[in-house]
Every structure is written in C-alpha cells, then in structure tokens.
C-alpha cells in the first residue's frame, strides 16, 4: 500500500540522520541531516522517488495529504532543533527566525530531490552539496554584522 511505502521512505532517512548526528550539534548536525535527506546515492534517490511519487498522489487524496503533512511536521521539528542549537552555540544569530530557516531547508531538500529525479545530469551530487553549503553559509552569516 501507499502509506507504508511513504512511511518507510521517511523512517529510513530519520534513522540515518539520528546516527549521523550523534554527538554533533548546531550547523554541523544540520549539515549532516540535510546530507542524509538528499538523494546523494541510489538508496536516497529511491527514497526521493517514492516521496515525490507519493506527493503527486496527495493532490487528489485528503487522507494522503494528512499522512504527508504529519511526516513533514516531524521533520520540521527536527530541523528546527538543529537551528535552535546553532543559535544557542552562537553559530546563527538569535534574530533569525528558526521557522524561516526550516522553510529554506525543506525547500532545498524538496527542490533538489525533484531536480535529481528530473534532471540528474544537472542536479548531481556535487551540485547538491554545493547548494547545501551556500544555504548553510547564508544561515550562518545572516544579520551578524548588520544587527
């Protein structure tokens, strides 16, 4: 069925993220978590394909939208915790709204996942890693000198 496939495609990266971020916090934890969520290898590309396919099916199905939304909220909470840690550590300015950063992280992951499926010749692993670093750099620099 569709829902178990979706749940598996979300639970596998969650487990990898927990392992990859053990013992690290803040922006490094956020970086490692993003890397686990991006389609950087065949396994993660398959997960992205399942998620993008599932997302398409939510258009006409309120129940599937609820399932996808609930998974998204769990992910949002995890991303937010990394941003808040980074703020506590002084890596991200406290004036930055963590929810805005979470929006940017999710937009990055979703757009790169779609891109890796549709135009893999352009959205390569190197492209994904470079775009992630640009986002993390913007998050770290935001408002630090303009206060």
Confidence check: pLDDT of 65 > 70: yes
Query: For 71-125, what is each residue's pLDDT tens digit?
Result: 899 999 999 999 999 999 999 999 999 999 999 999 999 999 999 999 999 999 9
Task: Choose among 78, 64, 85: nearest CA to 14.
Answer: 78
Query: For 68-80, what is each residue's pLDDT tens digit?
Result: 999 899 999 999 9
Task: Choose among 138, 125, 7, 28: nearest CA to 70.
Answer: 7
Give the pLDDT confidence score for residue 147 in this predicted structure.
Answer: 44
């Amino acid at each position: 069925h569709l829902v178990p496939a979706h749940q598996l495609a979300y639970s596998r990266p969650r487990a990898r993220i927990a392992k990859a971020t053990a013992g690290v916090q803040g922006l490094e934890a956020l970086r490692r978590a993003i890397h686990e969520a991006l389609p950087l290898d065949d396994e993660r590309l398959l997960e992205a394909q399942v998620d993008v396919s599932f997302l398409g099916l939510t258009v006409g199905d309120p129940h599937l939208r609820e399932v996808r939304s609930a998974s998204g909220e769990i992910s949002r909470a995890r991303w937010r915790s990394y941003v808040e840690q980074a703020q506590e550590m002084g890596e991200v300015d406290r004036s930055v709204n963590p929810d805005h950063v979470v929006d940017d992280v999710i937009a990055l992951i979703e757009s790169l996942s779609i891109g890796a499926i549709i135009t893999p010749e352009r959205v390569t692993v190197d492209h994904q890693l470079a775009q992630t670093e640009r986002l993390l750099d913007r998050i770290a620099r935001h408002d630090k000198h303009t206060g």
